[in-house]
């Protein structure tokens, strides 16, 4: 699985998105503030699930801004963390 596919699977699991919506996520898809399921509590679960499944650690001061703004921003953040 690519990082993007792994993130799609995680967003599906955490937010309960159906497969169609998950498949439609692309780099420009807005996330926090635009996706009703992604409230601040869901962000907590999302970050932990990303840490567990993608084997990275996310510091509190890294959360917010571009990394949660769009799907592409989140993927770029994870890739940078993984050094990929």
Partner 1 sequence: MTAARGPHVLAYADGEFMLAYGSRNGPQLLVLQPLFEEMNRCRAMIAGLCRALAGRGVGCWLPDLPGTGESLRALDTVAWADWLAAVEAAVATARDATGIAPAVLAIRGGALLDDRAGSRRLRLAPTTGRSLLSDLRRSALASGGDPAHPAGYTVPPALAEALGAATPSVEGDIRTLRLASDDRPADHRIEGTPLWRRPEPTTDRDMEFVLASEISSWAMA
Give me the residues that bind partner 1 (CB under 8 A), please. 1, 6, 9-10, 12-14, 16, 40-45, 47-49, 51-53, 60
User: 10 Å Cβ neighbour count for 14?
Assistant: 19
Whole-angstrom CA distances from 2 to 34, 65, 79 are: 24, 23, 10
Closer by beta carbon to partner 1, 28 or else 55: 55
Separation of alpha carbons 52 and 33, rounded Å:
24
Taking the complex as a whole, the smallest distance from the CB of residue 41 to partner 1 amounts, in Å, to 5
Taking the complex as a whole, the smallest distance from the CB of residue 80 to partner 1 amounts, in Å, to 20
Taking the complex as a whole, the smallest distance from the CB of residue 82 to partner 1 amounts, in Å, to 14
Closer by beta carbon to partner 1, 28 or else 59: 59
Whole-angstrom CA distances from 9 to 4, 13, 47, 59 are: 9, 6, 13, 22
Closer by beta carbon to partner 1, 28 or else 34: 34
């Amino acid at each position: 699985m690519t990082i993007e596919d792994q993130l799609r699977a995680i967003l599906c699991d955490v937010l309960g998105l159906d497969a169609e919506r998950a498949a439609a996520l692309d780099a420009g898809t807005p996330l926090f503030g635009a996706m009703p399921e992604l409230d601040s509590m869901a962000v907590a679960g999302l970050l932990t699930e990303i840490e567990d499944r993608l084997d990275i650690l996310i510091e509190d001061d890294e959360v917010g801004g571009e990394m949660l703004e769009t799907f592409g921003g989140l993927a770029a953040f994870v890739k940078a963390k993984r050094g990929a």
